[in-house]
Amino acid sequence: MFVAFLGTGGSVPTARRSTASILVGRGGDRMLFDCGEGTQRQLQRSLGLVHLDQIYLTHFHADHFLGLPGLLKTYDLGGREKPLVIHGPRGLRELLESLDRVLGRSRFPIELVELEPGDELARDGYAVRTFPVEHRTRALGYALAEDERPGRFDAEEAQRLGVAEGPAWGALQRGEEVAGSDGPVRPADVMGESRPGRTVVISGDTAPCLATAEASRGAQLLVHDASFAEEESQRAAETGHSTARQAAALAREAGVDLLALVHISSRYHVKTVLEEARTEFEGAFAPRDFDLVEIPFPERGEPRVIENGARERGSGEPTLAESGK
Amino acid sequence: MFVAFLGTGGSVPTARRSTASILVGRGGDRMLFDCGEGTQRQLQRSLGLVHLDQIYLTHFHADHFLGLPGLLKTYDLGGREKPLVIHGPRGLRELLESLDRVLGRSRFPIELVELEPGDELARDGYAVRTFPVEHRTRALGYALAEDERPGRFDAEEAQRLGVAEGPAWGALQRGEEVAGSDGPVRPADVMGESRPGRTVVISGDTAPCLATAEASRGAQLLVHDASFAEEESQRAAETGHSTARQAAALAREAGVDLLALVHISSRYHVKTVLEEARTEFEGAFAPRDFDLVEIPFPERGEPRVIENGARERGSGEPTLAESGK
């Protein structure tokens, strides 16, 4: 599983930072969380123009969705036929209808799913859950949580109990009892404890809130609003944002492995803001655009930050057609 | 006068090319022609976030205006108070109203000016003229044409005719008759012939058409649609676009100094398309994003292409706040 930071900027982009956009890859699934202006080019400049099938919007402020019309248009011009599902808080339909009036309808099917806090979308091997955040507008955080995986199968023990390799091994792993040389063998006799899946949480823009902490309990990665430095905590509260240090305190309490601070206002030195966060939680970092976090299964180690990883992994090199002059 | 190419791509951006956006600078004036998605970042990455006061849209296809909402939002968040005038064909009001419904209104004054083909906007020292182009939708080309400048003042001749340096010289240059040592001295006695101003023409998306050729007569720079290679001239005609060679033939006939080919489809090698154009007109080139054309007064030489000039000229280096990690 990986998380690619396509846009790490605040409400206003900068020369270095595009507005909000995060791509999560798990197996063959590619999910985009928020879609600020320029998201399609951030994809083209790194992983390539992925044909996403799931998009999730946290809320409907301009810096979180202005890249959507262009992306849909580009898919359309490319002859896309594959359906696309766009999720967001209540109001999503109205937003897309307004955009349709400006742009015209896409020819490929787009399904709109309006979500409430606490909704859970079951996928193959994981679920996407929403939780309520506090941003002075209808806003959702998202937790992508993998299902528990079955424990490790002890082949030697199975053989010792007289269960030979073959269909009986599969039955045990599916949770069924089978016959051994010395009586019935139960799954618990040969299977280790079930292993936790991975969890990634994306807060979107929000003041620090309990729902985020609860959704993040034991998560491998929390991506959290860190709009302000501590000196402006009052302003953060007024605007429904967090200081980097508040985000870090929340991450420490929730016991996450890694905290990615995003949406840092361009008025600050990122370094200063990050130092404030690290006084609370050593696992805080501030991704730049195109950084990537690789998340192994928990038993295989900690999440790893790969600087510029989304470019290295991608097809972001100019094509022949582009490089000629 | 300079023309900075901020977005040279076709309908779909690429890793290297943003969608349509051209900035023209003349004296203190900064005019933006079209505003594709990501224009604000293209500015930030080169000249800096210029506080434009004039924007001109050629037509209302997505790749020519999707950068407008984000740019307006960014101005608004930056506390802009200076008015902004946005020009475009009929339909501009409706477009902006639809965007307002999505984004909310800006707090700084925005004036919308709907233009008809043949309209002329007089400015201080130049005019912006519209002409009708052929793009299967209501679309305008724009010619920015400087006023004629008065001829050179011959100071020696004025002195010989007995007009001493001082207010009388100014009067002559304003076109008034003054007294000399040997009777009245008329402006024509001491002023050379009036000198032509500079003209820059932007076609927007269009099939080759007479109106563009007429507007471009003797222009220093023509920026023209070159969406297709010659092998797809049929497709170009059907979609209201031009082949690079058609653009070049038009530029040669109009007698322009320099032809910038833009909107080249990403399916081609730019080099191939450019070679086709050069068989018709040697003065054709294909700007990349951030290239800049410097246009001196005609008597001082030809327009000059400065590769990456918009970045060199700009404040596009990351600020301290951005460069820290």
Quote the mean pLDDT of chain A. 93
- Convert the pLDDT of each residue in A249-285 to its tens digit: 999 999 999 999 999 999 999 999 999 999 999 999 9
Distance from CA of B320 to the nearest CA of A (A): 7
Largest CA distance in chain A: 77
Q: Which domain holds residue B11?
A: 2-149+195-323
Q: Is A314 on the interface with B (CB under 8 A)?
A: no
Distance from CA of B82 to the nearest CA of A (A): 19
The nearest CA of chain A is from the CA of B301 a distance in Å of: 25
Tell me whether B228 touches chain A (CB under 8 Å): no
For residue B322, give the H/E element and its range: helix B320-323
Q: Residue A318 pLDDT more than 70? A: no
- The answer to whether position A168 is within a domain reads no
In a domain, B173, yes or no: no
Residues 60-99 of chain A with CB under 8 A from chain B are 62-63, 66-67, 69-70, 73-74, 77-78, 95, 98-99
pLDDT band at residue A51, thresholds of 50, 70 and 90? confident
ipTM for the whole complex: 0.88
* Spans of chain B below 50 pLDDT: 316-325
Is B70's CB within 8 Å of A325's CB?
Answer: no
Q: Is the residue at A241 inside a domain?
A: yes
A137 touches chain B (CB under 8 A): no
Q: What is the pTM of this model?
A: 0.90
- For tokens 């304003």, the residue is B174
- Chain B hits for A63, CB-CB cut-off 8 Å, are 70, 73
The C-alpha atoms of residue B100 and residue A79 are separated, in whole angstroms, by 30
pLDDT for A320 equals 34
B18 reaches A (C-beta below 8 A): yes
**Can you give the pLDDT at residue B318?**
41
Assigned domain for B247 exists:
yes
Q: How many domains does chain A have?
A: 1
Give me the residues paired with residue A128 across strands: A121, A144
In the chain, the amino acid numbered A311 is: R
Distances in Å between the Cα of A312 and the Cα atoms of A20, A47, A48, B109 are 21, 8, 11, 44
Residue A164 domain flag: no
The answer to whether position B274 is within a domain reads yes
Q: For an interface test with A, which of B5, B41, B76, B288 has the most A Cβ atoms less than 10 Å from its Cβ? A: B41
What's A98's domain CATH number? 3.60.15.10
Full strand arrangement of the beta sheet holding A120-122: A120-122, A126-132, A140-146, A199-202, A221-225, A258-262, A284-285
Whether A63 is a known active-site residue: answer yes
Q: Is A13–B74 a contact, with Cβ atoms under 8 angstroms apart?
A: yes
Q: Where are the alpha helices (DSSP H) in chain A?
A: 39-44, 62-65, 68-77, 92-103, 155-160, 167-173, 187-190, 210-215, 233-239, 244-254, 270-278, 309-312, 320-323
| CB-CB under 8 Å, A324 with B270 | yes
Q: Which residues of A228-242 are buried (b: 16+ CB within 10 A; e: fewer)?
A: bbeebeeebbebbbb
Is residue A188 one of the residues assigned to a domain?
no
The answer as to whether B187 is a domain residue is: no
Give the residue from B153, B155, B139 showing the smallest Cα distance to B202. B139
